[in-house]
Structure 1
C-alpha cells in the first residue's frame, strides 16, 4: 500500500509528502517551512530512523509503524498554538476507533479502549500507544507549527518510562497507511473545531471526556519538583490542574505524569 490522504483532507487542500524511510518527519517539515513551504502539509513514513520525542527522547519508528507530522503556518501566539496537542490527541483517538471497528466486533468486551494522557499521549489499557511532539518556529511574520504523531502499529519499544503497546499486540490488524488516511481526515474535523484557538473550549470538553486518570491520584515531575494530588481538570490554556492535599489548585504547564499507584511511588 501507499500513503494517501483521506477524502476530507484532500477536499480541504492538504498536501502530502510520503517517504519510504526518513530520519525525522518533524525535521523535514520544519526544513520545508524554513524554505518557504506554505502548507498545510503532512509528512509521513512507515520507517523513521532519527526522530525525537518530548524532552529529546529518541523516537524510532521501525518499518510498519506510523510516523507522521502535520505542518501549518499560523497567525496565532505560541501559547495558543500549543493547544494543538489536544487536537492531535483527539484526532488520533478518533482515527484509531475508526480503523479498530473489526477488532472491536471480534474482541467484544476485550476490545481496545483509547484514552488521552496529558499532555500528549494516547494510551490503550494504560500503556502508551501514541506519542505526540510539537515544535514551533517563527517564519517571517507567521508561526510554523509542526505536530508529530507517532503510532506503534506493528511494534512497541521496550524500556520506556511508560510501558508501551502496539496495535498488533492489542489485536488490531491494520496498516500504517490505513491509519494515516483516517488520521488525516480526523485532523480536518478537530482542527476545524479548534479554529485557531477560538474553539478550544469545545476541544477541552471533548478531551476531558477521554482523559486518563481524571479524578484520581496524580504525581507530576516538572523537572525541578514533584507535584502530587488529584487530577481535577485542564484549564482554558491546557494546563493540568492538581488539587493538593492542602486544598490548593496548582496549574502545571509541562511535566511527566504518573497515575494511581505509580503516582504514590513517584511521590516517595
Structure 2
C-alpha cells in the first residue's frame, strides 16, 4: 500500500491531506468536498483512479501504482487568473520530478523534435513530457460558490509505474525513466514544490513570473507546430505564450495567432497531412 505524506513546508502553509488507495476520481471527490463546505487547501491523492478524466472529457486511466492527485483551492481570484493554475501545477510537478527522478535522456524526442538536456518539458496547455513522450496530464475544474469565491480542483495524473500503450501519442512512465520510488515519494516532492510555485503565482498577481518560468521549460518553443481549433488546423511556429498564457503561433505570412484552447502537435506530427 502506498504511503502518502505532505512535505513539512506544505503542512506549515496550512495544507491538509486526504489519501486513498483507490478512488473513482480525485477531482470528483474534491468537488464533493466543496459541496460539503470544505475550506480548501486540501490535497486528495490516490494510487489508483477508476474513472478519471482528461481534457475534453477524455478518459485518463490511473492503474495501481500511478499517481492521481487533486488540490482543492478556494479563493476570490478572477476567473482568468484561476485558469492559469494549470501552469502553476506544471511547474510544481516539473520541479518535483527534477528533485526525485534521474536525468532525462538526451536525444531526439518521440515526435521528431529536439530534447532539452536533462529537463522535463511542459507542453501547452497542460502536459508534462519526458523524452518527448507524455508523462502527466493536468485538468482544472471549477465551481462558483454562493459568496462569489471560486473553488478550483487542480487534478494531476502521473504515469509512475505504467503508461498507456493504445494511445495516438507517445507516452512514458517514471519507471521507464529509471525511477525506483513510488507515487508517495513523488507526491511528497510535489506538495513541497506546489508551496513555492503557488506563492510565486500569488493569486494571479505573479503570473508574469510564472509565465517566464514556464517558457524556460516549454516543449517545442521556436519549432513547427500545428493546432487543431474548432475542426480546422492552423500551422506555423510556436512563438511564445502571451501575458494571459494563450498559445501564440507565428503563421507563414508573419502574422501572430493567439490560441486560448486547442490540441497542439509538434515536429513531424505538425507537418503531417490532415485526415
For the aligned pair, the TM-score class normalised by the smaller chain equals over 0.9
2:105–2:118 Cα contact (<8 Å) kept = no
Pairwise CA distance, 1:43 = 0.4
Corresponding position of 1:213: 220
1:228–1:267 Cα contact (<8 Å) kept = no
Equivalent position to 2:120, from 114, 133, 144: 114
Corresponding position of 1:24: 25
Corresponding position of 2:138: 132
Shift in CA distance, 250/65, structure 1 to aligned 2, threshold 3 Å: same
Whether 1:79 aligns to 2:80 is: yes
Task: Provide the secondary structure at the position in 1 that maps to 2:60.
Answer: strand
Unaligned runs of 5+ in 2: 108-116
Measure, in 2, the Cα distance between the counterparts of 1:49 and 1:171. 26
TM score, norm. by length of structure 2: 0.93
Pairwise CA distance, 1:112 = 5.9
Measure, in 2, the Cα distance between the counterparts of 1:218 and 1:228. 6
Can you list the C-alpha shifts for 1:17-46, whole angstroms capped at 9, x where unaligned?
A: 101110000000011112100111000000
Corresponding position of 2:190: 183
Instruction: State how many pairs are aligned.
Output: 264
Can you list the C-alpha shifts for 1:100-129, whole angstroms capped at 9, x where unaligned?
A: 1xx33xx88689631000001000011000
Pairwise CA distance, 1:149 = 0.3
Pairwise CA distance, 1:266 = 5.0
Pairwise CA distance, 1:259 = 0.3
Corresponding position of 1:230: 237
Moved more, 220-229 or 199-208: 220-229
Whether 1:257 aligns to 2:258 is: no
Measure, in 2, the Cα distance between the counterparts of 1:119 and 1:133. 10
User: CA-atom RMSD, angstroms?
Assistant: 1.5
Can you list the C-alpha shifts for 1:192-215, whole angstroms capped at 9, x where unaligned?
A: 000011000000000000000000
Whether 1:241 aligns to 2:248 is: yes
Measure, in 2, the Cα distance between the counterparts of 1:109 and 1:172. 17
2:135–2:172 Cα contact (<8 Å) kept = yes
Unaligned runs of 5+ in 1: none
| Structure with greater helix percent | 1
2:48–2:68 Cα contact (<8 Å) kept = yes
Measure, in 1, the Cα distance between the counterparts of 2:202 and 2:273. 38
Corresponding position of 1:196: 203
Corresponding position of 1:62: 63
1:112–1:170 Cα contact (<8 Å) kept = no
Task: Provide the secondary structure at the position in 2 that maps to 1:196.
Answer: helix
1:115–1:122 Cα contact (<8 Å) kept = yes
